[in-house]
Amino acid sequence: MNSYRIALNFEDGVTRFVDCGANEKVLDAAFRNRINLPMDCSDGVCGTCKCKAESGAYDMGDDYIEDALTEDEAAEGLVLTCQMIPKSDCVIAVPVPSTACKTGTAAFSAIVAQAAAFGDAAYELVLDVPDAAPVFLPGQYVNIGVPGSGQHRSYSFSSAPGAQRMTFMIKQVPGGLMSGWLGTAQAGQALEMTGPLGSFYLRAVTRPLLFLAGGTGLAPFLSMLEVLAVQGVNQPVHLIYGVTRDQDLVMVDRLEAYAARIPGFTFSTCVADAQTTHVRQGYVTQHMPPETLHAGNVDVYLCGPPPMVEAVQKHFKAQGLEPASFHYEKFTPNHPSPVHVGAGA
């Protein structure tokens, strides 16, 4: 292999991908792509270029000094990009905003292939992928311009990186700007998009996974599950999908298909409405078996509305449980507000 793909995920959620030669240092590859990663000495002495490798294999050599990167830091996955030579595709967390590195989000256009309604619960927006579309990490989102409005809305990819078409699961909101447009969307229409964005994405899987989805917060998990189905996973994965009404429980057939494709993947569903006929009434916190928490040795990913995020946090605290890592994204129907937290990651 002549090069590896390196995802640089910045503090403000912007992600840029660069190709790094088999014997090229990450810092050099970034500069070649006009991305000015933090640096000073470029000789492994000052530690200014320190970042965190969240996945992938690499060689750090032995030309840096311990004052720049201690053994404990290296054991935690911290790297010096001026010395790091990738040996596989990698994801690197850069602890500064993209603006500080003179880079930003990519802008591109996509063509509507289909906008399918799931009753009054959600739409699935399907787009033909343009040649100039950027790569993204499973779980990330893009800003989609609503035609004729001058405004945009943010939605997570439900498709996997590299898929022939981009898909999005979008909640139907009465009177909503995007919902109103989707009701009249026609194949062939162009949409303006910027991204990818977000620090909510699937990390390297080294522990059991617990996915918690609220409503259309299922979208990023569909992207993650497709990646796990293709790449394989040797850890148990459990997803709990909670909705408000019976009719909001959509795309369950896709979860059933993933359960057949991914060894060790299981899922359950629940409905909050007190009048539900569903077998599990209540919220995700009421249907979280202890065995899915693995006594804290679990990586938790949550995507849902703010009350759900807060309820799960309170539930963990009440149980005296601290997951090995906890990544979450909050959203509201009209103005997504992505937030990422990693505890003990």
**Tens digits of per-residue pLDDT, 14-36?**
899 999 998 999 999 999 988 98
Annotated domain spans of the chain: 3-101, 106-197, 209-330
> What is the pLDDT, as a whole number, of residue 252?
96
> What is the pLDDT, as a whole number, of residue 340?
39
Is residue 48 very low, low, confident or very high in pLDDT (cuts 50, 70, 90)? confident
**Tens digits of per-residue pLDDT, 111-130?**
999 999 999 999 999 999 88
| Sheet bearing 325-330, strands edge to edge | 265-271, 237-243, 209-214, 299-304, 325-330
Of 26, 24, 22, 21, the residue nearest 8 (C-alpha):
26
Q: Is the predicted pLDDT of residue 276 greater than 90, yes or no?
A: yes
In one-letter notation, the amino acid at residue 211 is F
**Could you tell me if 313 and 323 are in contact, meaning their C-beta atoms sit under 8 angstroms apart?**
no
What CATH number has the domain spanning 3-101? Answer: 3.10.20.30
Name the burial class of residue 102, with classes exposed (0-12), middle (13-18) and buried (19+) by CB atoms within 10 angstroms of its CB.
exposed
CATH architecture of 106-197: Beta Barrel (2.40)
Q: In a 3-state reduction of DSSP, which class is residue 1?
A: coil
CATH architecture of 209-330: 3-Layer(aba) Sandwich (3.40)
Q: Is the predicted pLDDT of residue 258 greater than 50, yes or no?
A: yes
Q: Is the predicted pLDDT of residue 219 greater than 80, yes or no?
A: yes
**Could you tell me if 58 and 25 are in contact, meaning their C-beta atoms sit under 8 angstroms apart?**
no
Calculate the dihedral angle through the C-alpha atoms of 110, 115, 118, 123, rounding to the nearest 10 degrees.
40
Of 15, 10, 292, the residue nearest 157 (C-alpha):
15
Report the C-alpha gap between 60 and 284 in whole angstroms: 43
Report the C-alpha gap between 153 and 91 in whole angstroms: 26
> What is the pLDDT, as a whole number, of residue 337?
40
**Could you tell me if 44 and 68 are in contact, meaning their C-beta atoms sit under 8 angstroms apart?**
yes
**Tens digits of per-residue pLDDT, 163-209?**
889 999 999 998 899 999 999 999 999 999 988 888 788 988 999 99
Calculate the dihedral angle through the C-alpha atoms of 187, 191, 195, 197, rounding to the nearest 10 degrees.
-70
| Bridge partners for 18 per DSSP | 6
Q: Is the predicted pLDDT of residue 314 greater than 90, yes or no?
A: yes
Report the C-alpha gap between 64 and 58 in whole angstroms: 15
Name the burial class of residue 245, with classes exposed (0-12), middle (13-18) and buried (19+) by CB atoms within 10 angstroms of its CB.
middle
Q: Position of tokens 């979860």?
A: 255
> What is the pLDDT, as a whole number, of residue 333?
59
Percent of the chain residues past pLDDT 70, beyond the cut: 96
DSSP 139-205: T-EEEEEETTTTEEEEEEB-SPTT-SEEEEEEE--TT-HHHHHHTT--TT-EEEEEEEE-S------
